[in-house]
Each structure stands twice: as structure tokens, then as C-alpha cells.
Amino acid sequence: MKRKLLLIITLSSFVFLSDDYKTEKQVIDLLENIVSEYQRNLSFSLLINNEQLKGEIDIEMAWVNDSSVFRKTKLDFIDGLDYSGVAWVWSMKKGKDKKWITKPSGKKIDVTKRKEFDFPVILPDQSMLDGYHSISDTLNYKSHKCAIVDVFKVSRGKKKGPLRKLWIDIEDGLIYKIEEFDYRKEVVTKETVMEYFDISNSTYKNLEAFPKMIYINDFKNNESSSMQISDYKIDQEFDLSIFEPVDIK
């Protein structure tokens, strides 16, 4: 399998780290291969459940990849959440992602700078390629033998972290767990676990790379939540105008 071969090559070379904190080409190739699985038009439904709320969001994602934007996402908040309306997220090639929501009046507002609207990343995207990466270990996770990819921030020539660790299956190249760290205190602050479809069932044969459940343990805030993902539609044809933030009358 191409992914497996690529990862084996990576594991054989991870000990040779660059002095200027430039990620080894093999590691970047591995991560880019993962991200590329989601560089397409998608839609799906998301059911969120935690101690405080339970709600449903319908999500449409267009892979644009023009001069300034990687992806445009539209979120329809259907039921049960504190917020009811529509949100848009543009994943920018430079600078912070742009975000808008509609107020109860239907008027759109820009919430790019508001942290409470940092919507969770459901599928791997280009932000996963930011920083410096190195493979630090291989460990067994449930029935999966995983390579552990450490992710660091590089600022003013210095490496900070790891900020997170990605647990990537050597066999299928899927991410099964992400740990986020307070590297100063050397503690895990958040754990995200992905569960995938059983592709031996013909119903899911085209969904090998797409999670069906995501479990999040936020240790910092002592909160746990789950997200069930369903009704995937792959390679959708979209009218791109729906991804332009507008007032909703």
C-alpha cells in the first residue's frame, strides 16, 4: 500500500533532524497525503452531544483553492444548540481564517476575532501542515500500530512544544488520536479520538478516510463530548454563492 510504504520510509529516517527545524520531506509527504483525501467538495451531518448540549449541524465544504482561500464552509445549525442560524468559515492561505455568523435578526456579522467562534476542525486540513514535525516513536493504540508525529511551533528560530501529537496508523495512514499539550507543564490538555467506518460493509466502501465518530476529552475544562458524523456526500457539485456570507431574511 502506497501510504504504508511512505510511512516505512519515514520511520527509517526520522532520527536525522534538520538544524533549522525544517520538517523532513518524507514527513511532509505523509501529512500532505492525509490532507489531500479531504481536498474535495463534501457535505455531512454532525450530531454533537456533551453534558451541556445536544444539537445537529448540517455542513457543506467546498474545496476552492484559489489565490487566497483553500476551503469555504457553510454550517447550518439545525437543532438543540445555544446558537441557531448559519455560519461561514473561509480557510485562508495567509492570515487567520475568516468567520461570519447570522444574528437572531438574520443579519450577518464578522466573528473572525472572537475566540468563542473557534469552530472545531472536523476533518484534517492545511493547518495540520503548519510548524515543525518529527516522528518520535511507534506505539500500539487499540489494534493499531501508530507512528507518533510530534508537532512544534517555530518562532524566532526556536522550537516550542510539542504542541500536539498525531497518532497515525502505519497500515492505513489514518489519524486515530490527537493529543494537545501544555508543553511548559508537560501535560495533555485535550485528547481527540477518531473512529472510522467498517469498509468491509459495502455501504461504506467509499468512506475509508472519513470518521464516523469523534470523541473529545477536554482535560483543561473537565469536559467530554462526542460528534457523530453521517450522511456523507462526496464530490458534491455546489453553487459557490451559498458560501458567501449574507443576511438571512
> Does 165 lie in the same domain as 223?
yes
> Does 238 lie in the same domain as 208?
no
Examine residue 247 and state whether it is found in any structural domain, yes or no.
no
Give the residue-averaged pLDDT of 205-229: 92
Examine residue 249 and state whether it is found in any structural domain, yes or no.
no
Cβ 163 vs Cβ 154: under 8 Å: no
> Does 132 lie in the same domain as 85?
no
- C-alpha 146/C-alpha 162 separation (Å) is 17
> Does 133 lie in the same domain as 28?
yes
Q: What is the SS3 assignment for 11?
A: helix
- C-alpha 222/C-alpha 210 separation (Å) is 27
- C-alpha 77/C-alpha 59 separation (Å) is 9
Give the residue-averaged pLDDT of 45-53: 83
Q: Return the number of other C-beta atoms located less than 10 Å from residue 237's C-beta.
A: 6
List pLDDT tens digits, range 123-181.
888 889 889 999 999 999 999 999 999 999 988 888 899 999 999 998 889 999 999 99
**What is the average pLDDT score of the chain?**
87
> Does 136 lie in the same domain as 178?
yes
pTM of the model: 0.84
Domain count, the chain: 2
List pLDDT tens digits, range 61-114.
999 999 999 999 999 988 666 667 899 999 999 988 999 999 888 899 999 988
- C-alpha 222/C-alpha 218 separation (Å) is 6
> Does 165 lie in the same domain as 109?
no
Q: What is the SS3 assignment for 241?
A: helix
> Does 132 lie in the same domain as 26?
yes
**Eight-class DSSP state of 73:** E
Range of the domain at 172: 2-37+128-228
